[in-house]
Amino acid sequence: MRAVRFHEHGGPDVLTVDEVDDPDPDYGQVLVDIEAAGVNPVDTYFREGAYPVPHLPFIGGGDFAGTVAEVGAGVERFAVGDRVFGTGLGNGMPGSYAERAAAPVDFVSHLPDDVSFVDGAALGTVGATAWQALVHHAATKPTEIVLVHGGSGGVGHAAIQLAETMGARVHATASPEYAGTLTDLGADQVFDYDRTDLEAAVVDAGGADVVVDLHMDQYLQLNANVVNTGGRVIGIGNDTAEGGFDDIGVTKGKEVQYQFMSMFNADDLSAVLDRVGTLAASGEMLPVVHETYDLDDAGEAQRAVLEDSFVGKLVLVP
């Protein structure tokens, strides 16, 4: 089979398409014929060496959608021919940038018939992360205000849709050029993240009961100042180079809860994916796929996911 691998750590140019043997599913795994694989910023961290990999060369990629080609011993929930999607590969095990991948059933869910493979591949990481943030950690309630930083990104645009489905009022920060798209996805207000009066604008709009922060400590103080009493701030992402608290005392006065999270820590990732798939089938949380790429263009896709500006997700199609 063809697979995208890196033989050394480095930039996108270290990715090569190699002919490799098909993987064999271990106990509790399924072998999936990959129809599409999502591209996420986290994929580049493994390639660059910021996150460890068990060996080189290595196949990256976490998200996937396709058809079950073989089931390993102990697998009862899936059968050959099932349409599936999932996430969590590429972290300690070979990933999804390939024509076939072996996936633990804990990382897999059935893909509804009405959801395309491309949409399924774009859903895994962003859908599960949004669910963990808004449902598991924040326990978001109807009529609460949810502020999503980075609303045009993969997780951001999924979080907007999920929060709206949960009955929340949704505010987001993003580039003004994406305001219309994010409004169509469910945002009530979209704030230009570069405006000098961003904090005052958010407060004037009602503040926030829940903040989903895709840029970690860049907005720590702003989040503390705009969040309402009893609010919850959910931190996702890797941006930790700048920003921080100037006055942490305000968080005590408001009884603010901070939760920094990773999708990989979900207790039952497959169950979360089941719910994400149900929302996708009903049209309540569908990814915006900005562009698809061949396996040969995986390097360009990884460059674009970090450097280009767009709404939604990028997807590889073997």
pLDDT score of 113: 97
Average pLDDT over the chain reads 94
Q: Distance between alpha carbon 188 and the CA centroid of its chain, in Å?
A: 22
**Cβ atoms of 151 and 182 closer than 8 Å:** yes
pTM for the full predicted model = 0.94
pLDDT score of 246: 60
pLDDT score of 50: 94
Quick: pLDDT tens for 241-279: 455 656 555 655 677 788 889 888 888 999 999 999 999
- Among 137-151, 154-168, 199-213, 228-242, which stretch is predicted with the lowest mean pLDDT? 228-242
User: Amino acid letter at 120?
Assistant: G
CATH topology (fold) of 2-124+266-316: Quinone Oxidoreductase; Chain A, domain 1 (3.90.180)
Quick: pLDDT tens for 29-79: 999 999 999 999 999 999 999 999 999 999 999 999 999 999 999 999 999
CB atoms within 10 A of CB 200: 12
Residue 160 scores a pLDDT above 90: yes
Domain edges within the chain: 2-124+266-316, 126-263
Mean pLDDT of 301-309: 97
CATH architecture of 126-263: 3-Layer(aba) Sandwich (3.40)
pLDDT score of 239: 55
- Rounded Cα–Cα distance for residues 125 and 88 (Å): 8
State the burial class of residue 170 (Cβ atoms within 10 Å of its Cβ: 0-12, 13-18, 19+).
buried
Residue 215 scores a pLDDT above 70: yes
